[in-house]
Structure 1
Amino acid sequence: MVVNVVRRRAQGTLRLFLVTSALSAVGVPAMAQEQAAPDAGASSQGLEAIVVTARKQRENMQTTPISITAFSSERLEAQGITQISRIQDFTPNLTFANVPSNSGIASNAAVYIRGIGQNDFAPTVEPGVGIYIDGVYLGRTAGGVFDLIDVDSVEVLRGPQGTLFGRNTIGGAINITTVQPSNSFHAKGDIKYGTDNRINVRAMVTGPITDSLSAKISGGIFSQDGYVNAPYLHKKLGNQDTKMIRGALKFAPVGSGFSATLAGDYTRDKSNGAPVTISGIDPTATGSFVTLNNYIATGFGNPADCLTAAMASNTACYNQRLFSKDTNYSTGTTFSDLELWSASLTLSYDLTDKIQLKSISALRRINGSFAQDRDGSNLTINHVYDIFTQKQFSQELQVVGKAFDDRLNWVAGLYYFQEKGEDINPLHFLVVEAQSGGYYDYKDWAAFAQLGYKITDKLTLTGGLRYTQDRKSYLPDQYVVSTLAPFLVIPPGTRIVPYETVKANVNKLTPMVNLSYQADRDLMLYATYSQGFKGGGYTQRIFPPEPSLPSFKPETVDSYEAGFKFQGFNNRLRFNAAAYYTDYKDMQLLVADASRVGPFITNAGKARIQGFELETNIAPGEGWRINGSLGLTDAKFKKLVAGVQGLTLDSKFVLVSKWTASASVEKDIELGDLGSVTPHGDWTYRSGFFTNANGINTPELYQPGYSLFNANVRWQDSRKIYSLSVGVDNIGNKKYRIFGDYQPSFGFYMQAYDRGRQYYVKAGFSF
């Protein structure tokens, strides 16, 4: 009966949507986002099948019973996406922001799916959304906003993936697959020139060396001038200077059922610094460092005098002379420098026609240093420096098989992950100079299994379970170097927290159960319960001294999801929908506390998150492609722990929009011997959200809802070898906020805005 009710509602929704689709075909704008672009022939025949690996095996997306958005390399090209963070524009309920956190790092992925994620790269807290490249988990978000050079597909999996992906995928996972070495020769490349001297150069070549050995090498250079003036630093912030190289060798003897792929990559990402400016101060923060500075600047008089017109040019005051949207008046060291490399060995062997064994071994390392004059002035109110290193090793064993005439599909495996490193933070505040940070050593073991059984030809029951042991050791190395005010006397060398190793250990079972029903050839319905968790940890940034390092517990979610997937009308329409409800417990939030200098992480309480995703792809024929998406993330705090400051039950989740939407349309126009031209236009919308990374719903840092319009025209020759594209991103030149920061202990508002309208031209080849 439940299935019938769900099916009736799905069919009702489908009928309504088909009316909209019909209108769109005759000129009414339609919501759109096709995840994998068919070739010209496919567009006249309908939509092609999309293959995903979300469940550790190759499956048709329309028969995979989870909420997933998939991008092929062709779709990324059509949308003009060359950086991973831009997939947020076309994925419902996804935030993929570049947030400098509390250090000034210029490449830090703040990823949220259905309202759950994390924006701090500090090693004492884990990301809430797992990012995987060729099956390898990226343990840290530093360097996580990267350019795409040889990506084959990107999959966004919504909801906890606690069975097959496991570690810290409480919000979801982003699964990236690169182009693998091929037995046939293939080469491609392009060069893009655009606004602010943007120069992107990408190239890839793959082919056979022998009958059993093939290779691939790819690389990219990405550069662009900054767009925030920093006159006293003699540079512009927000620039890009990135170099990447990736290579792979694949050994696969013909007919052996065995393959071995050795891969490696190297990235150097340097920047003048994040494009932040100071937009104001909080005059009500009477105990802040800004107020204290102005108290001193006025000769221990009234700090408010610094804000008068008569004192506007007084360089001893922290006031309106520093406020700007496009200029940063910092004088202290500001830069970002990241070096990343990794190596992996993937072994695969077909034990039988029905059973495959796979091993993925990987090493990854990050070396980084970054600094920021966060107060954006000639005054020393908040200067920070980071020395960051990370080494990780992971080993995964998978066994994938089928049995009982393919009625049973199963996946089982073992997983080991270790990372260690340091994040040392020299800092200089108005009243104190100190060292923060410490050294970490984490280990994670897991065993997992998932079985799907066809109860009937239409009804499939899938169950999964993962057991995880998470072991963390952290040694804080934090002490006072000197105090800079007569009323604050702390002897140099005083420990801010004890120099003692602290541990955060947890054992956790995360289950999943899914029921799917293939109603007919075109329509599949499903319902899922899943659980996810993210390990606990410690607050890294502490001042004044405390008797012990503040800690927080793991957070957990219980997620309930139901949806359907439809592909019909001779494969000309694809329409997928999912609705979800999430119980979110022991939320780990970065919050501010007036009694502490700097933000800290705490288990803030409980919340519920509910919403839905709708996605459609339409191929009405004659070269037309129309795509769309709509997402709702309705998040509400249900209970807050006593003592949490800056939040109420009416507070909103930061960096998370309630509504996300996108639409795109394109048409292949054949020109005979002259090739073809494909005009493309798209629109994306995000409703309003608070940008303050430190949890507080600061009105000054609220970004109202906004729309973005992009367009490009692509020409290809008749042999599909050469191409030329001309495009405009952010046609309306919308200068929306991408980051904000306010901490009561400092008292100023820091913000970053989008670059605005960008033009580009790109020439490429592929053969």
Structure 2
Amino acid sequence: MARSHRRARRLSAFRAGTSAFLSIAAASLALPAFAQEAPQTQAAAGLEVITVTARKQTEDLQSTPISITAFSAERLEAQGITQINRIQDFTPNLTFANVPSNSGIASNAAVYIRGIGQSDFAPTTEPGVGIYIDGVYLGRTAGGVFDLIDVASVEVLRGPQGTLFGRNTVGGAINLTTIQPDETLRVKADAKYGTDNLVNLRAMISGPLTEGLYAKISGGLFSQDGYVDAPELGTKFGNKDSKMVRGALRFAPVGSRLDVTLAADYTRDKSNGAPVVVTGMDPNAMDGFAVLNNLIASGMTDPGYCLTPAQANNTACYNSRLFSRDTNYSTGETFSDLELWSASLTVSYDLTDEIEVKSISAWRRINGSFAQDRDGSNLDINYVYDDFKQKQFSQELQLVGSALDGRLNWVTGLYYFTESGRDINPIDFLVVYAQSGGYYDYENWAGFAQLGYEVVDGLTLTGGLRYTDDKKSFLPDQYVIDGLAPFMTLPPGTRLAPYEWADNNVQKWTPMVNASWEATPDLMLYATYSQGFKGGGYTQRVFPPEESLPSFRPETVDSYEAGFKLMALNNMLRLNGSAYYADYNDMQLLVADATRVGPFFTNAGKARIQGFELETNFAPGDGFRFNAALGLTDADYKELDEGVQGLTLDSKFVFVSKWTASASGEKDFDLGNSGTITPHVDWSYRSGFFTNANGINTPELYQPGYSLFNANLRWRDADEHLSLTLGIDNIGDKKFRIFGDYQPSFGFFMQGFDRGRQYYAKLGYAF
């Protein structure tokens, strides 16, 4: 975007002791509480068996020795969840936020599990939590906050999962499985209407084309008006306009050992812009561009000139006339536009009754453009634009098997991932107009194996190992286009970083060791050591000029976990818990530095994270169901690298709450031939956290702890084909912070807040 156009438009982890942890677990038995459930057929009293695929095999949740939360399509429906990030409200120690990062993207997943994650989608860094759809890794978090149209289950795996999952699962993994077509004809459709002209339309049809050949097609349209006024642009930020279509063709001849599925999907996600506002400025940030703007407005005499009451309406000033919680006064073009395509080919073949070989080949592309007038004013202080392209290919080969009457189980395989693209970022700041960003080309190879052996009845030892070869190359295409004299003396064309490929190669072994013991048929105990690893990278936003492109080292996590899984009260109560301790080394952090314009990545140092999770659900019969979850993430910096600014050992992790909790309850009332009516209520709580995406604990961007209450009433006909749901989300109308940004080089506070209370009605049909 031309500058002239812009200018014109203006082991202490367990310090409470094992006895204290077990006391908490025992006390929770008395709670009307809950975990999340996968596909179910519940009897009058008692809980269904939950199956998961967290270890590349179909297993009973209660016999899978890892900390995992599982949601089925039925549970998502009951909780009123139609967008993936809402699972954070019901999963302990999970943050799944929609963060506009430093570009204004309106659909970017900032996912943290047990305090480990990443908030920026820039291709020079990697997510700390891997997201997988039908076994395919999503290499970028851009577009990672998506709507759910045909999901069969969602699994949240806590702790490093590096042995079996493709890349960057240093914090954990989110594993989504979609409905696969088979011989059963399925038709599902629903329409939802709600607050601010919310319109969600979803439909799916799946079934046989002929014997052994099955197909599925699904799609959705999602729209809603914005809720942050942008009067100078004649629009509202925070709106939604998204379209999705997904299809699958499956070939599985009856009696054959072969199963082949070809799947593809397309998503278009557009928005007027992320729902952010400017809430204030820091008058003490004397090097900030907002203060410099005011100094210029005063004729270079008084930086406090614009902050006097007499200048409150001076349009040359950056001051309180621009500060609001619900209005953004931007004049520069602001928008977010994403297109995503993907295709995959999954081939599995049973070599024997005990051994399966599987191949997953996948392609994915993202085209995006984002623009944001970040200063929220008519002034040229901070405007950014992104031209983002990404394409990836992955190939995974798995060999899964068992022997010795099921006492020996193994998974082994090879993984290949390649990714390339560009992220070109023209930036228009008060003193400089420049191009930032560049081009990237990555390649990742890995071999992995995991083997479990039941040594004696009930006692299983499992070991896993992964070797990773991670290669990254980045070409910075960053130079000055124009400058504001006399503050900018660099001539046009000056390179901000050398125009040459920078290479970052690393090889790493990551192990896992696990022991599980079925103490009784209803109680399993387990302990795990695992290591997580995430490759290094670069800072792609550089100013002032650097002699070489700033880089950062890989980060690692050594995690120690112990847990239990219990069924009780004649299968009416499920209680699962885990405690963990993690050493987090060379942690990669996005920080702000007063000597640089814009945020940059660095290795901040070492940290210690400890905590626990408890989840339970209770189905006493007569149509009652109660669920609850509790999580603790106690994270502390233990050592900071020299030169890291803005952090102390007392600083807190951003976007991470120390406590998360949730509870819900529902009751089925049988109306005979008139069907069933089910009232559902739920509550979730997050303790206070800092929202500044740049890693610094800015008090103005702190979100105190808050509770959310939701409720819905669902009616289903006697055949359970037709349903009608009336619901209220965020009953208390909490306008909590969802995002914050403060950079000393600019000097103003940018924030985003939740929409608040929402009403909806949904009509559905399925058979």
Q: What is the letter of the counterpart of residue 237 of structure 2? A: L
Summarize the Cα distance change of 1:669–1:123 in structure 2 as closer, same or farther, 3 Å threshold: same
Change beyond 3 A, Cα 1:289–1:399? same
In the alignment, what sits opposite 1:210?
210
Alignment map for 1:246-261 (pairs within 5 Å): 246-261=246-261
Report the 3-state secondary structure (helix = DSSP H, G, I; strand = E; otherwise coil) of the residue aligned with 1:401: strand
Q: CA deviation at 1:402?
A: 0.3
Distance 1:404 1:617, change over 3 A: same
Listed one character per residue, the Cα deviations across residues 372-409 of structure 1 (whole Å, up to 9, x for unaligned) are 00000000100000000000000000000001121100
Pairing 1:21-170 to 2, within 5 Å after superposition: 21=31, 30-36=32-38, 38-39=40-41, 42-170=42-170
Q: How does 1:253-272 map to 2 (within 5 A)?
A: 253-272=253-272
Q: Which secondary structure does the structure 1 equivalent of 2:456 belong to? A: coil
Asked whether the equivalents of residues 163 and 466 of structure 1 are also in contact (C-alpha less than 8 Å), the reply is yes
28, 36, 40: which one pairs with 1:17? 28
Distance 1:652 1:6, change over 3 A: closer
1:763, CA displacement in angstroms?
0.2
Q: C-alpha distance in 2, partners of 1:7/1:280?
A: 47
CA deviations 1:13-72 (Å, max 9, x no partner) are 554233x23xxxxxxxx4434323644xx1513100100000000000000000000000
1:737 CA displacement = 0.1
Residue 464 of structure 2 corresponds to residue 464 of structure 1: yes
- Contact residue 33 and residue 618 of structure 2 kept, 8 A: no
CA deviations on 1:273-315 (whole Å, 9 max, x unpaired) are 0000000001111111011000000111211121111111000
Alpha-carbon distance between aligned partners in 1 of 2:696 and 2:485, rounded to the nearest angstrom? 29
Partner of 1:24 in structure 2?
Answer: none
Residue equivalent to 2:714: 714
Instruction: Give the letter for the 1:36 counterpart.
Output: A
TM-score by length of 2: 0.97
- Distance in 1 (CA, whole Å) between partners of 2:559 and 2:424 is 37
Q: CA deviation at 1:328?
A: 0.1
CA distance in 2, matches of 1:110, 1:438: 22
Q: Give per-residue Cα distances to partners, 1:170-220, cap 9 Å, x unaligned.
A: 000000000001211110110000000000000000010010100000000
Q: Counterpart of 1:428 in structure 2: which amino acid?
A: D
Aligned-pair RMSD on alpha carbons?
A: 1.2
CA contact (8 A) 2:34 2:574 kept: no
Q: How does 1:465-484 map to 2 (within 5 A)?
A: 465-484=465-484
Say if 1:129 and 1:172, in contact at 8 Å, map to a contact too: yes
Number of equivalences: 752
Task: Provide, for residues 324-359 of structure 1, a one-character-per-residue CA deviation record: whole Å limited to 9, x for no partner.
Answer: 000000000100000001000000000000000000
Q: Which amino acid aligns with 2:304?
A: A
Name the counterpart of 1:188.
188
> Deviation of residue 162 (structure 1)?
0.9
Q: Provide the rounded CA distance (Å) in 1 between the counterparts of 2:618 and 2:409.
A: 31
Residue 562 (structure 1) aligns with: 562
| Structure 1 counterpart of 2:9 | none
Q: 2: distance between equivalents of 1:491 and 1:423?
A: 24
The residue number in structure 1 matching 2:274 is: 274
Amino acid at match of 1:667: K
1:614-670 CA distance string (max 9 Å, x none): 000000110000000000000000000111111000000000000000000000100
Task: Look up the match of 1:762.
Answer: 762
Contact 2:612 2:632 in 1 (8 A): yes
Distance 1:6 1:760, change over 3 A: same
Tell me how far apart the structure 2 counterparts of residues 512 and 345 of structure 1 sit (CA, whole Å).
29
2:402 aligns with 402
Structure 1 counterpart of 2:431: 431
One-letter identity of the residue aligned with 1:404: L
Deviation at 1:490, TM superposition (A): 1.0
Instruction: Give how far 1:7 is off.
Output: 9.4
Deviates more, 1:566-575 or 1:710-719: 566-575
1:380 alignment partner, SS class:
coil
Query: Aligned partners of 1:405 and 1:58: how far apart in 2?
Result: 17
Amino acid at match of 1:208: P
- Tell me the distance in 2 between the aligned counterparts of 1:562 and 1:284: 48
Report the equivalent of 1:393: 393
Q: Secondary structure at the match of 2:85?
A: helix
Per-residue deviation, residues 448-491 of structure 1 (Å, max 9, x unmatched): 00000001111000000000000011100000001122232111
Q: Which amino acid aligns with 1:32?
A: F
2:633 matches 1:615: no
Match of 1:27 in 2: none
Once residues 22 and 327 of structure 2 are traced to their aligned partners in structure 1, the CA distance between those partners, rounded to angstroms, is 54
User: Corresponding residue for 1:242?
Assistant: 242
Match of 1:338 in 2: 338
- Tell me if the contact between 1:268 and 1:340 (Cα under 8 Å) persists in the aligned partners: yes
Q: Please tell me whether the aligned partners of residues 25 and 577 of structure 2 are also in contact (alpha carbons under 8 angstroms).
A: no
Equivalent residue number for residue 499 of structure 1: 499
Rounded to whole Å, the distance in 2 between the matches of 1:310 and 1:32 is: 58
Aligned CA distance change for structure 1 residues 15 and 289 (closer, same or farther; 3 Å):
closer
Alpha-carbon distance between aligned partners in 2 of 1:515 and 1:493, rounded to the nearest angstrom: 60
Distance in structure 2 (CA, Å) of the matches to 1:371 and 1:458: 58
What is aligned with 2:587?
Answer: 587
Deviation (angstroms), 1:153: 0.2
- The range that moved more, 389-398 or 479-488, is 479-488
SS at match of 1:85: helix
Q: Does the 8 Å CA contact 1:43/1:624 hold for their aligned counterparts? A: no
Q: Secondary structure at the match of 1:62?
A: helix
What are the ranges of 5 or more consecutive residues in structure 1 without an aligned counterpart?
Answer: 22-29
| Cα shift readout 1:148-180 (whole Å, capped 9, x = no counterpart) | 000000000000001001410000000000000
Q: Give the counterpart letter for 1:103 in structure 2.
A: S
Asked if the contact 1:31–1:661 (Cα under 8 Å) also holds between the matched residues in 2, the reply is: no
Indicate conservation of the 8 Å contact 2:84/2:147, yes or no. Answer: yes
Distance, in Å, in 1 between the alignment partners of 2:330 and 2:668 is 50
Task: Give the match for residue 444 of structure 2.
Answer: 444
Q: Is the 8 A contact 1:388 1:422 kept in 2?
A: yes
Identify the range of structure 1 (44-53 vs 460-469) with the bigger mean alpha-carbon deviation: 44-53
Distance in 2, matches of 1:164 and 1:587, equals 22
Structure 1 segment 532-571 matched on structure 2, within 5 A: 532-571=532-571
CA distance in 2, matches of 1:286, 1:8: 53
Q: Distance in 2 between matches of 1:562 and 1:251?
A: 42
For 1:264-303, what aligned pairs fall within 5 Å after superposition? Answer: 264-303=264-303
Residue matched to 1:376 = 376
One-letter amino acid of the structure 1 residue matched with residue 522 of structure 2: D
Give the 3-state SS of the residue equivalent to 1:140 in structure 2: coil
Equivalent residue number for residue 652 of structure 2: 652
> Which residue identity is paired with 1:242?
S
Which runs of structure 1 show a deviation greater than 4 angstroms over 4 or more consecutive aligned residues? 5-14
The letter of the residue matching 2:313 is S
Distance in 2 between residues matched to 1:37 and 1:449, nearest whole Å: 29
Contact 1:33 1:662 in 2 (8 A): no
User: Per-residue displacement from partner, 1:517-552 (whole Å, max 9, x unpaired)?
Assistant: 000011000000000111000000000111110000
Letter in 1 for 2:93: N
Distance 2:362 2:40 in 1: 33
Provide the residue aligned with 1:411 in structure 2. Answer: 411
Preserved contact between residue 251 and residue 260 of structure 1 (Cα < 8 Å): yes
Bigger CA drift: 159-168 or 69-78? 159-168
Q: Tell me if the contact between 2:633 and 2:659 (Cα under 8 Å) persists in the aligned partners.
A: yes
Deviations 1:700-739 (A, max 9, x none): 0000000000000000000000000000000000000000
Provide the C-alpha distance between the structure 1 equivalents of 2:542 and 2:294, rounded to a whole number of angstroms: 24
Amino acid at match of 2:544: P
Q: What's the CA shift for 1:8?
A: 7.8
Equivalent position amino acid for 1:16 in 2: A
Contact 1:461–1:514 (CA under 8 A) maintained in structure 2: yes
Cα distance, 1:6 vs. partner? 10
Partner Cα separation in structure 1 for residue 178 and residue 100 of structure 2: 27
Residues 362 and 394, structure 1, Cα contact 8 Å, conserved in 2: yes
Deviations 1:219-259 (A, max 9, x none): 00000000000001110000000000000000011111101
Q: Distance in 1 between matches of 2:371 and 2:35?
A: 39
Question: Which residue of structure 1 lines up, in the alignment, with residue 4 of structure 2?
Answer: none
**Residues 430 and 14 (structure 1), Cα distance of their counterparts in 2 relative to 1, 3 Å cut:** closer
